[in-house]
A = this chain, B = another copy of it.
Amino acid sequence: MPESLTNSLAATQAWETLLDLPASGPRHVALASALRAAIRSGRLPTGAALPPSRALAPVLGCSRWVVTQAYAQLATEGYVTGRTGSATRVRWSPGAGPAPPVGEAGPVRPRFDLAPGLPDLRAFPRRQWADALARAAAGADLGHLPAAGLPELRAVLAEYLVRSRGAVAEASSVVVCGGIRDAVGRLARGLVAAGHREVAVEDPGWGALRSVVAAAGLRVRPVPVDGDGLRVAELPPGVRVVLCSPAHQFPTGVVLSPARRAALIDWARAVDGLVVEDEYDSEFRYDRKPVGCLQGLDPSRVVLAGSAHKTLAPAVGVGWAVVPARWRTAVEAGAGPPAIDQAAFASFVAAGRYDRHLHRVRQRYRARRDLLLAALAAGRPGATTQGVSAGLHVVCSWPGLDETAVAAAARAAGVDVMTLADYRVRPGPPGLVLGYGNISDAAVPGAVAVLTAVNRLAEGWEPGLSSP
């Protein structure tokens, strides 16, 4: 271990004491909250450098994702600078002004955003959505909604999911919610109330979902993923619920194979269990035939969860779940999106605007994916890519890749990028997770050029933990 790292680790021990994290709630939220409190109280003065995620995560016993998310949130709020420079630094202090500049501070964005998570926000049909909202505000029923959501929207979503995803659904089996995380959180609380204690998740997988189920009180049991998707045979004995993303596993991008699909349904039946199918980006597929959702194979054993976060934008705030009758009450227990938004989304889908938008952005993403793959092939010959036939990100690797070093150097050079390690519970082969949803076509070659340039530096290079 280089000396700089050892010194920094010793320094970061102090952070454990400084950050008194509460036991409940998602950990990245808790960390952001603790840091915010430390900044607001003056314990962390303006200009102070926060430890790099790789150093702080082991001290706090959390994943690097937790730290990265917490920093990003504080950057959005204006408390710290973003990670376009090398270190994340405090930019606000109680002496600096009357109140934190929360209202003014926009998110500090990297020069090139290859982090997965966002669709192309420039492609959002702002005028059509504004029209839909305005028309809904003018006409919608203004009273209380049924807990499961607006009846019209439930009917429209059922029709859409049957038609586009091969789901088995009717209006009564659809619950409207705020998104996939919201749906999984509600279900997780119902599972706990019904006596469940554990839930299996894909490893690597989406950390936010692990946080949500852990916050509900469920123990998270990671199960490895290979080229055929979730290794169903390795589901731990005793576990009866699994969260997975069969259409395009996050983050590896693999599709659950037909044999594994059958095995997963068999497993669910054998253990009297439940599969939660996370369809976070299933609308985007390019080179292969659509794979129907797992839920269609056994609607009594699968909860199908999706949202408009990636098809339109997170700001739309509408999600849904198709839920077996046994769990419907649990998933209904939450505040869904406002009635006006539900009415707007129902009319947007029913009028065919949603389908047309998807058709349009699908072309756009396919072309951008091709650009990205071509740039990678040219810039780093020998690189392998995975998960390219669908979704809004690819996984890229090459012999000898030091994912952490390359990602750190890339971030320092203004390219935001995630690694497979950021999503893993247990260690595994390296990979860069390159999202192409919210980067412009024109920026793709430049971003890849930076990536491949820093890779040359990173081969044999260990980034300093705190540089000026």
Contact = CB atoms under 8 A, between A and B. Distances in A.
Contacts of A179: 335
A334 interface: yes
B333 A317 contact: no
Interface stretch (A189-197, A226-234, A254-262, A450-458): A189-197
A170 B40 CA distance: 12
A182 B335 contact: yes
Interface residues of A, number: 88
Contacts of A328: 33
B118 A143 contact: yes
A335 B151 contact: no
Contact of A100 (B144, B172, B329): B172
B193 A24 contact: yes
Interface of A: 22-26, 29-30, 32-33, 36-37, 40, 73, 76-78, 99-100, 102-103, 105-107, 117-118, 121, 124, 126-127, 129-131, 133-135, 137-138, 140-147, 151-152, 154-156, 170-172, 177-179, 181-182, 185, 189-190, 193-194, 215, 217, 313-319, 325-326, 328-330, 332-341, 438
Nearest to A195: B23
A133 to B, nearest CB: 4
Nearest to A124: B142
Contacts of A25: 190, 193, 329-330, 332-333
Given A25-B332, A99-B170, A338-B315, A121 B137 contact: no
B332 A33 contact: yes
Given A24-B194, A325-B37, A335-B178, A315 B130 contact: no
What number of copies of this chain does the assembly contain? 2
A99 B154 CA distance: 12
Given A133-B130, A193-B25, A338 B337 contact: yes
Given A33-B329, A103-B171, A179-B335, A77 B194 contact: no
A29 B146 CA distance: 9
Contact of A129 (B135, B137, B177): B137
Given A141-B107, A189-B189, A333 B29 contact: yes
A138 B76 CA distance: 20
Choose among A37, A143, A179, A438 the residue with the greatest number of B CB atoms under 10 Å from its CB: A143
Contact of A40 (B124, B154, B172, B341): B172
A317 B76 CA distance: 24
A172 B102 contact: yes
A189 B24 contact: yes
Given A99-B155, A334-B334, A335-B179, A315 B141 contact: yes
B76 A146 contact: yes
Contacts of A143: 107, 118, 121, 313-315, 438
